[in-house]
Amino acid sequence: MSAERGLFYRLVERARRRSAWLFHLNTGACNGCDIELVACLSPRYDVEQVGIRLEGSPRHADVLCVTGPVTRATRPALEVVHGQLPEPKVVVAIGSCPATGNVFAGSPMIEGPLHRIVPVDVYVPGCPPRPHAIIDGIARAIEVLATRRRTGGSP
């Protein structure tokens, strides 16, 4: 029975090698980046065709996509969600807000930028970034994830 189970897990890993399951977390964004991320799933860009899909649970995701400056209210949720992603995991900061705080930088309500709270692997610049830029960022995240799976740790 354990040999069958091992075979099953090896098949799952092989199938997921080039795909990425994303969990999207809005940490106080204006929804501009969120709309552009969802546009990637539309028929025009159709990233699901190549195995990239949004997951409803961080426990099933490989990549955490964060939009918005990290506010005081959303920081605890961010830390919990980041902890729930299984290893290896990759964090993608989508837009200017998680990278720098953008126009909200310096506000007493902002805990970010994101890299102060969780390690960030890929930045997608823009306010909001276009879907092509987001897809490129996710492709880079898949490369980082593949490297981590091969080496068993951080690149």
Tell me if 41 is assigned to some domain. Answer: yes
- For residues 153 and 71, the model is more confident at 71
Asked if residue 2 has pLDDT above 70, the reply is no
Distance from C-alpha of 94 to C-alpha of 97, rounded to nearest angstrom: 8
Q: Which CATH number do you get for residue 112?
A: 3.40.50.12280
Question: CA gyration radius for the chain?
Answer: 16
- Please list, residue by residue across 2-37, b when 16 or more beta carbons sit within 10 angstroms of its beta carbon and e when fewer do: eeeeeeeeeeeeeeeeeebbbbbbbbbbbebbbebb
**Per residue in 7-61, pLDDT tens?**
766 665 665 565 789 999 999 989 999 999 999 988 898 888 888 889 999 999 9
Tell me if 73 is assigned to some domain. Answer: yes
Peptide bond preceding 119: is omega within 30 degrees of 0, i.e. cis?
A: no
- For residues 5 and 89, the model is more confident at 89
- Structure token pair of residue 99: 């990278």
Helix (H, G, I), strand (E, B) or coil at 85: coil
Tell me if 6 is assigned to some domain. Answer: no
Tell me if 144 is assigned to some domain. Answer: yes
Tell me if 57 is assigned to some domain. Answer: yes
* Domain limits for position 37: 18-151
Tell me if 147 is assigned to some domain. Answer: yes
The DSSP 8-state label assigned to residue 129 in this structure reads P
**Per residue in 70-124, pLDDT tens?**
999 999 999 999 999 998 999 999 999 999 988 888 888 999 799 999 999 999 9
Number of domains in the chain: 1
Asked if residue 136 has pLDDT above 60, the reply is yes
Worst-scoring range by mean pLDDT, 45-49, 140-144, 146-150, 151-155?
A: 151-155
Tell me if 98 is assigned to some domain. Answer: yes
Q: Which of 33, 25, 26, 31 is nearest to 125 (CA)?
A: 33
Distance of CA 154 to the CA centre of its chain: 16
Tell me if 62 is assigned to some domain. Answer: yes
What was the pLDDT predicted at 155? Answer: 55
